[in-house]
Chain A
Amino acid sequence: MATLTQSGRVESRYGGQAFPIELDGVTHDYGTRLALDRLSFQVGRAEIFGLLGPNGSGKTTLFRILSTLMVPTGGAARIQGYDAAREPNKVRQQTGIVFQARSVDIKLTVAENLKHQGHLYGLSGRHLKTRIDEVLSRVGLLDRARDKVETLSGGQQRRVELAKGLIHSPSVLLLDEPSTGLDPGARRDLWLYLRMLRDQEGVTVLVTTHLMEEAEHCDRLAILSEGKLVALGSPAELKSQIGGDVVTFETAGPEQAARLAEMMANRFVAGPAVLGNRVRVEREQGHRFVTEVVEAFPGAVQSVSVAKPSLEDVFIDRTGHRFWNEDQPETEPKKKGRH
């Protein structure tokens, strides 16, 4: 990471170039609720960057700010050195956006949709025509150019969305939950396209997602929770920061779990986290720890699992609560996991 100087608009640079995406203390509150809390990070060129967080973590708010649809209440979001709040049109020209909701007009043909999009970005005539053919062959829809979008399958419609986002050859591509409603095959195709864009055209891609398996595909990730940045790094880096194995003990109920955690904390100094009726511990050589615990507290444990850490474990480690806490209402006050 290049060193940053914090003064001025395009001051923070690497290799003489502004960062494709740079957040500088971005804060947003909707009146009473703080949706984003001083987010700062940079995304490098030709990087597939994931914004991972559960619903309500603030990633949609951040997406709106980056796509210039909303002005943050504090801080600055920059794309290629341009401030999204002050120079939205400059940012818009650099950015291709694929929204989660359908934005194509299903009554128009595929080509008409792209022509319209091209017009909005200042393309026209022969140049636009060539560009439409280019993006359509890239997403494999050249033979459907003259069909109305409503006759296309869901996966094909998403590809039209992608083509729409790419029509003006943006240097930064933003995608909001891109694999929503895609079957596994279409999902694989999407990631294939994104990697192609990154490798062949040097496009910087930012993807928001609430799916762990999707986040695994990213070069680097920012994990958000309740508007805060809780982790930043490549999936492998983040997982390796968790010590060894993740051991989960299942007990008969939440009280038993709390008691087990207390006993463990007294005896093994391991910083156990209670999640419903489970106790979760990060430990080197998890299988040894399992025997120790089971022998020390006979009958307290109903079942045990030992696993290599996942991104969800990273999330739990950093926030002290589960990724999907709406399924399992939290009863314990938040604990900071430590190792």
Chain B
Amino acid sequence: MATLATTAPRTAPVASPGVWTPAYSLWLREIVRFYRQKARVIGVIATPLLFWILLGSGFAHSFQSSQSSGSYLAYFFPGSVVMIVLFTAIFSMMSLIQDRNEGFLLSVLAAPVSRSAIVLGKVLGGATLAAIQGIIFLVFTPLVGIHPDAAAILIGIFVIVLISFELTALGFAIAWPMDSPQAFHAIVNILLLPLWMLSGALFPADRASGWLGWLMHLNPLSYGVDALRNALFPAEHTLLPLDLNLAITGGFCAVVFLASWAIVNRRTNKPAA
């Protein structure tokens, strides 16, 4: 093979992409993909609105609420916001499974990118979409007779951002090892939906009986919903004060994000994708 040595040695320029550029790129892709699929945009805005009006109106007539602001629609409002966030988080993490099946993820894994950048980009992308939609839903507050001031809106936005991040990171940790959307759906049904149902979104934790009440107190999402209630209905009775709710929600964000990070960083002898 004498011919091989005759040409000058050549190796590619070595530049490390760092964490932020790849993370930004993955984040941007989530956003661009989302608004290019119009049906997703409509579905994700319309579904919670529909749920909120149908469920809320139904329950409002079936149960007498003793909440001070009266209507069940108002009680159900923070829960609906969290539901939008949950739906969007689930949808965007479904794309992780799609990426894996199509081979897009393979090309990301084979790039000189740290796995942290992958988690960060993907989770922030999903969380951004979820948060934007949750925040858009705040526009409907006057419909339930709430007129939050600027401070309340800012706190509300902050809480929505936290919840978006925690649910998306949770979705990421669940979706990462999976290769079928059906399996992911099963987990969504047995884990994520109950997580939401028992978060005080539909009925208050301190009036739920026995074990159900316990589960609701153990559910980290309860404190996110509670924090949102703190923000929107400062006069309302809640489980915990705002600062404690925020601390618990922030803590849970960190836990699920670290869990995602740990799951992604496992290196194995098995096929990566």
A residues bordering B, Cβ < 8 Å?
1, 14-17, 28, 30, 44-47, 64, 67-73, 80, 88-90, 92-95, 97, 99-105, 107-108, 112, 115-117, 119-124, 164, 168-171, 201-203
Contact = CB atoms under 8 A, between A and B. Distances in A.
Contact of B17 (A101, A119, A171): A119
Nearest to B13: A169
A119 B109 CA distance: 13
A119 B273 contact: no
Contacts, number: 133
Contact of A73 (B5, B103, B107, B269): B269
A168 B15 CA distance: 10
B11 A80 contact: yes
Contacts of B28: 116
A103 B103 contact: yes
Residue among B26, B110, B273 having the largest count of chain A Cβ atoms under 10 Å: B110
B61 interface: no
- Say whether chain A's binding surface is mostly helix, strand, loop, or mixed: loop
A45 B4 contact: yes
A95 B26 CA distance: 21
Contacts of A117: 107, 111
A159 to B, nearest CB: 15
Contact of B11 (A47, A94, A108): A94
B106 A201 contact: no
Contact of A14 (B4, B18, B25): B4
Interface of B: 1, 4-5, 7-18, 21-22, 24-26, 28-29, 32-33, 36-37, 102-104, 106-113, 267-273
Contacts of B110: 67-69, 92, 95, 97
B5 A15 contact: yes
Given A17-B9, A69-B273, A93-B12, A47 B4 contact: yes
A170 B12 CA distance: 5
Nearest to A203: B10
A239 B134 CA distance: 67
Contacts of B9: 15-17, 45
A108 B29 contact: yes
A203 B13 CA distance: 13
A16 B4 CA distance: 12
Contacts of B7: 45-46, 202
Given A14-B5, A70-B272, A92-B111, A121 B11 contact: no
5 contacts: A15-B9, A95-B110, A100-B103, A120-B108, A122-B18
Contacts of B109: 69
A116 B29 contact: yes
